[in-house]
Structure 1
Amino acid sequence: METQDPDVVEALKASGESTLEKATAKAKKALDQLINVSLNIAVTGKTGSGKSTFVNALRGLGENAAGAAPTGVTETTMEVTMYEHPGMQNVKIWDLPGIGSPKFKAKKYLEDVKFNTYDFFIILNSERFMQDDIMLAKEIKKQKKLFYFVRSKIDNDIRAEERKKGFDEQKVLSIIKEDCQKNLKEMGDPKVFLISSFDLEKYDFETLQNTLAKELQEHKRLALLQAWPVCSTECLEKKIKMFEGLIWAVSLLSAGIAVVPVPGVSAACDVGMVVLFLTRCYYSFGLDEGSLTRLSEKVNKPHLKEMAKSKFVVAIREKALTRFQASAALATIATVKYFISLVPVVGSVAAAGISFATTWYLLKEGLNDLANTARKIKKEAGLDTISYL
């Protein structure tokens, strides 16, 4: 369909497609991958390996935060427990019961925990990987699912070695990794990731994310990148770039100029989609209260939370009833008016329905505001001074 409508021309240009029908189909797919595609992460391993603490870290929560998985020196996970990501309900992290009992049977274990539920498995151990870990990995491999060996509590090992004469952190890490790989030789040459759930910016946590991003399917990769904790400036910039690449799709659908009907999108403008997009950015960049509290406590800088006072951060935070209801709570008329009022150019145009160009502007302004706030906070926390490559 040919048209001279400037909004349509602009939308086609942004999409890289030749027709509005193709651009709309591409936009619908992109938005679905952003919001609706599920990602289910299973965390399993030896009892006492720190599974629940790792689950909390992935969700950006401290151990004492509301909704955090219970942790302790003894086994606290007695049955399969699902935890939603606080700001992205399509991402679920499953805390599985510990393995290692005398009667452990890998195949039976996978049946009991409903193996097919999960996209990949994290096999966690705070010491040497043992035969039970190998048995479980082999059974997962038979089922053609992804699994990753993660050696936890590395911070404890480093503290123990620091007291010794001639301490060399890199040498200690190499020894630990080599020892793990030696015990896993039956699996070929598996990668082993060294992590500390309390120091995500150190060791192999970033490498683990990069590996997952390479090996997961594209639509799952987007869900992973959104939900993964911000542990470095590189990670933050990848998230920002991802959202920047989706602005055109949300603009096209939200502005209501698509000729292909989109369920739930009005003919005029669905600004709730704009709000939802920016809310996703807010949580993904670690600007929610839980993530900021965890970061400020870690670096002992309480004022970090006070730095999250930009206009879009405040707009999202003030309209969120609870962290778990943010997306639904924000999709209200009051919130829409609040967001529109933040950008002077929008004003009167919004009354008749926001056009593609104006929607684009609003999304760009909101994303830049949230991204720059996150950058300032990470810089103040000292995360921009560490190389993670």
Structure 2
Amino acid sequence: MLQSWRWFGPSDPVSLGDARQAGAHGIVTALHHIYDGRVWTPDEIEAHHSQVRDAGFVWSVCESIPVHTSIKLRQGPWRRYIDAWKDSLANLGKAGVPVVCYNFMPVVDWTRTNLRYRTKAGGLALRFDMVDFVAYDTFVLKRKDAEADYSDELIQEARKRLATFDEPALLELEHNIIAGLPGGEDTHTREGIRERIAQFDDLSDDQMREHLHEFQREIVPVAAEYGVKLAIHPDDPPFSLFGLPRVVSTAEDIRKILACVDDDANGLTLCVGSLTSRPDNDVVAMAREFASRIQFAHLRNVGRDPDGSFMESDHLEGDTDMVSVVIELMKEERRRRDAGRTDSLIPMRPDHGHVLVDDAGKKVNPGYSCIGRLKGLAELRGIMATADALLDLRLQPLSPPAVA
């Protein structure tokens, strides 16, 4: 697998030099300063690409070109934003960027309630606490009809939890949840969040799915023309939040997405952690079933709680057998290689990582401290080396035992 590392650009506190010391060969990055639907121009892409090349890396994956809300709603200036997205995609293809990861999540790109949860080992992890989230959604944000989305038991637990929060704790919870909105927590207000959620009040899962499929029918031919593999990212987490529709959460969702445009350019980002946070997802089985269309892998793991809460675990722990996932991906790489494909390597990255050792005193992007990801990449590299050796043994005929 192509060992890669996410880099948020020149302002990222973890530098390209740090990524080199971690042993990465590819960089997963994007024009993160342009998230408002504007076209990414060839000059802007080249300026970013040159920084990656000059540091000795390949730009292995673009993650992500943001999908404007009007595209998801199919309202307002959606036509202009789709055309801009297609132009950005074509410009990335012309620049030689081989894979583009994107998501179709409404309002929030990812959601956690705690960005520095203390683990048993003493590190700091990302965590989603269902009770905290319900308390915020129902009693702080006061979303219309929010209580109807939760059980009476969960509402009661949330009310009790809320009573333990003082104002600074509530503001921190809100800050953590807003961190998953495009543009970051400094660009959104509570009323603004309510208004953005309300835009989707009348949109069902089926309507949202059809909007995604209409988007796919436009972008996949462009990707194929310019030699780019698209890799849609699962919902994170893969269940409804704020009453919003979810359409990339289950194996059946993914089957529909891949069947919509049956082309290798229409592929999947296998995000192990996102999919694992839903208990009815068998992620090893999904890796096996969708192997031929997996264009990118986020290798992280989570441990789930019965109430729907989850925490980012160590990369080789959690509720999905990461070793089996890696073996399925490496088997697919061999199949592609044997078919004569020059793009047989699947880019991966150690998605997220705990804040460890002296990173605890540094400013880092949530989930993207250096030492935790370095540890994760080293562990995954060991699994890949072992899996490679095991696959070699399976392909070799066993010699008969020597006759005494």
- TM-score w.r.t. the length of structure 2 is 0.28
- Give 1 or 2: higher helix fraction: 1
Report which of the two structures shows the higher radius of gyration computed on alpha carbons: 1
- TM-score w.r.t. the length of structure 1 is 0.28
- Give 1 or 2: higher strand fraction: 2
